[in-house]
Amino acid sequence: MTSPGEPSGDPSQHTSAVETAVRQIEETSDQMVEDFNALAQKLADNAWWLSPVIGSAAVHALSETLDGIKEKLDELLDIAGEVLAHHTPVISLINISFHWLTAVKQPVSGLVPVIQQYATENLSYWEGGTASHYKQQIVPPQAGAAGELSAKAGFISEWLYSIAQANVDYVTKLAQVMGTIAGDVAQAAVKAGTIIDIPWAISDLASIVGTLVTAAVDNLTGIGQRIVEAGENVRQIVSDRVDESKFPGGGWPQAVRD
């Protein structure tokens, strides 16, 4: 059983979510750029026809609107570029957080009952001063130290996982937003296939993209703050590491050393 903050399930479930999201971000980024360029090209190719119909000033305004859309899309693409360039450490964080459970907490926690057992049944008849000293002064601290080490491993795993999970949320949310906006850009490019609809396609896209990108950046900033806050908890990690209250002399439990 894991505590509420510890990794659950299998690490591949989480790493695959990141890999899927990253692949979607990469694909939708490319498609979004391609469709936006197609839309801009349609305006450029048909400006000569639109100018007499809606006026040159209106055509110029449409061009400026496209520049505004591009600025918003670039804002999102810059975030996507950072994710695509630096997503590998997230995979490592996920794997390491699980590794702390399986490689440290699980085997060390299993030592606690072992430490409290006699090596042979005959030792249960052991009496005298040495026996009392062993039972009162050796076994309890050793069992306590092993239990404390297990708890520390669990805490570190939770800390690593909290950072990893926030990163997973960030990447998957970005993938969702990119998919939505890429779909809107693609729809605008299709709508602009009819020359007379080019102004409406650009205008509609501008009203959608501005709102979506602003909301997305705000949301991603909030998730990013979770990552920063988790990273700042490194002070607690150091505090736990230097806490020797259950590690006499700062030494590891004998059962762990052996």
The pLDDT of residue 179:
93
Give pairs for 237-240: CB < 8 Å, separation 24+.
Answer: 237/155, 237/156, 237/159, 240/152, 240/155, 240/156
Calpha distance 151→156 (Å, rounded)? 9
Calpha distance 242→258 (Å, rounded)? 22
The pLDDT of residue 75:
92
The pLDDT of residue 115:
62
The pLDDT of residue 34:
95
Query: Beta-carbon neighbour count of residue 111 at 10 Å?
Result: 21
The pLDDT of residue 248:
53
- Region class of 55: left (phi > 0), else alpha (psi between -120 and 50), else beta: left
Domain extents for the chain? 11-257
The pLDDT of residue 77:
93
Closest residue by Cα to residue 129 from 120, 118, 137, 117: 137
Calpha distance 37→197 (Å, rounded)? 17
Render each residue's pLDDT in the chain as its tens digit; 258 residues.
Answer: 455 556 666 788 888 888 999 999 999 999 999 999 999 999 999 888 888 888 899 989 999 999 999 999 999 999 999 989 888 888 888 888 888 778 777 777 666 666 666 555 655 556 666 666 666 666 666 766 777 777 777 777 788 888 888 888 889 999 999 999 999 999 999 998 888 889 999 999 999 998 899 898 888 888 888 777 776 666 666 665 555 555 555 554 454 454
